[in-house]
Amino acid sequence: MAFFQTPPELPRALDDDALLLRWLRRHMPGDALAVVEPELRAAHGDALALYAASQVDPHEAPRLTSWDAWGKRVDHIELTSLWKKAQRVAAERGVVATAYERKTAEHSRVHQFMLAYVLEPSWHVYSCPLAMTDGAAKTLLASGNAALAERALPRLLSRDPARAWTSGQWMTERTGGSDVAISETLARPRDGGSFTLHGTKWFTSATTSEMALTLARPEGGPPGGSGLALFYVETRDEEGRLNGLQINRLKDKLGTRMVPTAELLLEGTLATPVMGLRDGIKNITPMLALTRTWNSVCAVAAMQKAVGLARDYARKRVAFGATLAHKPLHADTLAWMVAETHGAFCLAFRVVELLGRDEVSVATDAERALLRLLTPIVKLTTGKQAVAVASEALEAFGGAGYVEDTGLPQLLRDAQVLPIWEGTTNVLSLDVLRVLGRGATLAPLRAEIERATASAPSGLEVPARAAREALAHAEAWLADTLQRGHGGGGALEAGARRFALTLGRATELALLVDEAAHAERAGELRLSAVARRFARSAIDLVDDGLVEGDAALILG
């Protein structure tokens, strides 16, 4: 009889994820857990149904119809069938609303992001509009603009799929992505305090959203970032017509292909200022900080999916007389993937935990300082980890990992957006330096790592020491570089990525040691093995011998 390989199955989030429930039961009080755990199990049922639907046509993509049969411009984007299902599930499960309903008080952000974590592997990055919707809700709340909040928030936070809105975030223009200060979009005043926007937004994700927050320069305003203002836009008018928008094209992207990403022409788009007519970049910061947290949680979910599929396949695939799971080298590779994923999980959900405490004003000053420092660090660290784990997962399947029909290449394509969107690794590394340049110090991070490693048992002494020493080396490098004069100059910038990744990986290791020590006291040794495996990967990436001019010499 001919042989046919049994394909891998999606892991069961609450049963196959050894860290998830243990982390929840440690970090959430019983009354909150009694609310959260049943909701996660219900969401997991939705995730399995969505995953099955995604396998019917994994290459389905949104379609743009620019003209109707009689030549009228319509610019209609038809979403995929999976995304339409995801819209309903996301609203009904309150994936955005949960954070604002605060049924679990300071644990509401953990509650929310656990829902996102469970659903993310199944709905082809529907987290994209949800992240921006969450960011828009938080930005409008922080703005003090009661009129806009009253209009938009009931829709952004609705659990009714027929009423719920999502939001876009339009920042990237032809002039560049991260350097938004050189935006070319102009805002022209109208009677009554509203404006019309004129320009091109080169890359707008989730373009089918009902509203968006965007940046534009009021006419006559000064150049640079300070001259930009933050505007609220509804994408359609009361009759359903596009609000001065023209969809030039949908972007043909490497991954996240179900996300309708478009290039927009703004020709008189009616808009309302959110917070005055200056400092738009500063005013959109709440959205950026939150979407970076979403990016991190989604990175961990993507890693967990890749690891789960690879582990399931290793139990089924027989080669050279045994399953791959029983091949020591393959098992070691999978162990590395698990360790990276667990480290990323600990860091991402520590940030989520801090965010929840900050939002209900129970965070200490030290916790708030730690949150500000860790927000760019968690995004840049987990983004790079997700790509590495996805790449290794494809290799774990051999040739099948390279064949589109298996659906496996999507793991790597979708992961690659994570280090790019909402600030590349280099941009966020410089953001870490900016935080430290504004009077902040690494003291909150040092305290966090010392706290997490203080009670490490003997079997975890080596990983605990590796985390502390990596941080100490990073601190020494920063101090030494700054002492050279001129704020460190090019040497500081050249080493920023190594510095930031060291902070991220050292913190991951410390938090993993903390979870492992807690588990070991209960007689569970698996996480201790994970922590030791993670410590054997590169944690300290700082390079004391980096010659500042070498890169220029190499590049000629």
Residue identified by tokens 């022209």 is 188
**Residue 73 phi, psi dihedral angles, 5° rounding:** -75, 125
Tens digit of each residue's pLDDT (9 = 90 or more) over 54-95: 998 888 999 999 999 999 999 999 999 999 999 999 999 999
- Over residues 399-408, mean pLDDT: 95
Quick check: 17 pLDDT over 90? no
Picking from 74, 6, 18, the residue whose alpha carbon sits closest to that of residue 304 is 18
- Over residues 102-107, mean pLDDT: 97
Q: Is the dihedral of CA 534, 302, 114, 425 positive or negative?
A: positive
Strands 186-189 vs 167-170: parallel, antiparallel or unpaired: unpaired
C-alpha to C-alpha distance for 387 and 424, rounded to whole angstroms:
13
Picking from 263, 248, 244, the residue whose alpha carbon sits closest to that of residue 187 is 244
Q: In this structure, what token pair is assigned to residue 150? A: 């009253």
Q: In this structure, what token pair is assigned to residue 214? A: 């965007």
- Over residues 120-129, mean pLDDT: 96
The DSSP annotation for 490-524 comes to HHHHHTHHHHHHHHHHHHHHHHHHHHHHHHHHTT-
Residue 340: the pLDDT is 98
- What is this structure's pTM? 0.96
C-alpha to C-alpha distance for 246 and 266, rounded to whole angstroms:
7
Residue 121: the pLDDT is 95
Quick check: 244 pLDDT over 70? yes
Residues of the chain with pLDDT > 70, as a percent, come to 99
Length of the chain: 556
Q: In this structure, what token pair is assigned to residue 362? A: 């129970």
Secondary structure (3-state) at 528: helix
Residue 192: the pLDDT is 87
Secondary structure (3-state) at 176: strand
Quick check: 486 pLDDT over 70? no
Q: What are the Cα distances from residue 522, in Å, to 22, 28, 59, 516, 534?
A: 11, 17, 46, 10, 21
Q: In this structure, what token pair is assigned to residue 445? A: 């991070």
Quick check: 146 pLDDT over 60? yes
Contacts of 494 (CB under 8 A, 6+ apart): 546, 548, 551
Contact (Cβ atoms closer than 8 angstroms) between residue 411 and residue 394: yes
C-alpha to C-alpha distance for 286 and 276, rounded to whole angstroms:
16
C-alpha to C-alpha distance for 73 and 26, rounded to whole angstroms:
56
Contacts of 103 (CB under 8 A, 6+ apart): 35, 111
Residue identified by tokens 């930009």 is 228
Residue 484: the pLDDT is 78
Within 13 Å of residue 552, how many CA atoms lie on the same side as its CB?
A: 6
User: 476-480 long-range CB contacts below 8 Å, 24 or more apart?
Assistant: 477/542, 477/544, 478/436, 478/442, 480/544
- Over residues 476-482, mean pLDDT: 93
Q: Is 256 left (phi over 0), alpha (psi -120 to 50) or beta?
A: left
Tens digit of each residue's pLDDT (9 = 90 or more) over 313-364: 999 999 999 999 999 999 999 999 999 999 999 999 999 999 999 999 999 9
Within 13 Å of residue 474, how many CA atoms lie on the same side as its CB?
A: 29
Confidence of residue 553 (pLDDT cuts 50, 70, 90): confident
Residue 247: the pLDDT is 96
C-alpha to C-alpha distance for 366 and 198, rounded to whole angstroms:
43
Within 13 Å of residue 61, how many CA atoms lie on the same side as its CB?
A: 15
- Over residues 144-152, mean pLDDT: 97
More confident residue, 438 or 517: 517
Residue 487: the pLDDT is 55
Q: What are the Cα distances from residue 313, in Å, to 11, 236, 317, 394, 412?
A: 11, 47, 6, 11, 17
Quick check: 395 pLDDT over 70? yes
Range of 1-5, 96-100, 277-281 with top mean pLDDT: 96-100
Q: Which residues pair with 273 in a beta bridge?
A: 231
Quick check: 488 pLDDT over 70? no
Contact (Cβ atoms closer than 8 angstroms) between residue 261 and residue 419: no
Residue 531: the pLDDT is 98
Confidence of residue 485 (pLDDT cuts 50, 70, 90): low
Secondary structure (3-state) at 375: helix
C-alpha to C-alpha distance for 37 and 94, rounded to whole angstroms:
15
Quick check: 365 pLDDT over 90? yes
Quick check: 3 pLDDT over 80? yes
Contact (Cβ atoms closer than 8 angstroms) between residue 519 and residue 530: no
Contacts of 501 (CB under 8 A, 6+ apart): 380, 381, 384, 425, 429, 541
Quick check: 491 pLDDT over 80? yes
Q: In this structure, what token pair is assigned to residue 211? A: 């509203």
Q: In this structure, what token pair is assigned to residue 65? A: 């119809």
- Over residues 209-230, mean pLDDT: 94
Positions of E strands within 135-234: 167-170, 186-189, 195-204, 211-218, 229-234
Residue 490: the pLDDT is 86
Contact (Cβ atoms closer than 8 angstroms) between residue 384 and residue 508: no
More confident residue, 212 or 175: 212
Residue 178: the pLDDT is 72
Contact (Cβ atoms closer than 8 angstroms) between residue 299 and residue 291: no
Quick check: 283 pLDDT over 90? yes
Residue 155: the pLDDT is 98
Q: In this structure, what token pair is assigned to residue 551? A: 């890169």
Quick check: 136 pLDDT over 90? yes
Q: Rounded mean pLDDT of the chain?
A: 94
